[in-house]
Amino acid sequence: MSDNAPSVFSRIIAGELPGRFVWRDDDVVAFLTIAPINPGHVLVVPVAEVDLWTDVAPSTWARMAEVEAVIGRALLAAFDQRRVGVIIAGLEVPHCHVHLIPIDDEADLSFARADAHATPEALDAAADRIRSALRADGHDAHVAG
């Protein structure tokens, strides 16, 4: 892939590749990862393709934080976990993204636990639970999918 080729996340955002979106606005999207650490593992991604989180425009970073909090509350409502963990790793795709993961303890944040064989049905069910929780919290306008 050349340096000018769009990232896989840009291609998902553009609809060129499939994605299980739970949130979409002009600046930020959120969709499920295909290899969740726990059910409900969501990626919050700026629409603008920026590789490093340190290079994201402050206004976009602030919007991402707002969306992360809204989705975090939805994850707590939708899944029986004690907390929602947050990870910014940025190694696997050169497009800033924040992982939101329903967790019970810190060991749940290990990427070694990622389920590379999550079924489409399980991913769809998790997305539906998140969307329902977002709607119940009054965020219908941005619920995607």
CA gap 105, 16 in Å, rounded: 36
Q: Are strands 42-46 and 98-103 parallel, antiparallel or unpaired?
A: antiparallel
CA gap 73, 61 in Å, rounded: 18
Rg (CA), the chain: 14
pLDDT at 3: 62
For the sheet with 83-87, list strands across it: 21-24, 28-32, 42-46, 98-103, 83-87
Which of 2-16, 114-128, 129-143 is least confident?
Answer: 2-16
pLDDT at 145: 82
Residue 103 structure tokens: 């967790």
pLDDT at 58: 98
Average pLDDT over residues 27-36: 97
Residue 135 structure tokens: 């709607």
Which tens digits make up the pLDDT trace of 68-127? 999 999 999 999 999 999 999 988 899 999 999 999 999 999 999 999 999 999 999 999
- Beta-sheet strands, E only, within the chain: 21-24, 28-32, 42-46, 83-87, 98-103
Q: At what angle do helices 120-136 and 58-78 cross, to 10 degrees?
A: 100
Residue labelled with tokens 């940025």: 90
pLDDT at 1: 42
Q: Which CATH class is domain 8-142?
A: alpha beta
CA gap 81, 61 in Å, rounded: 26
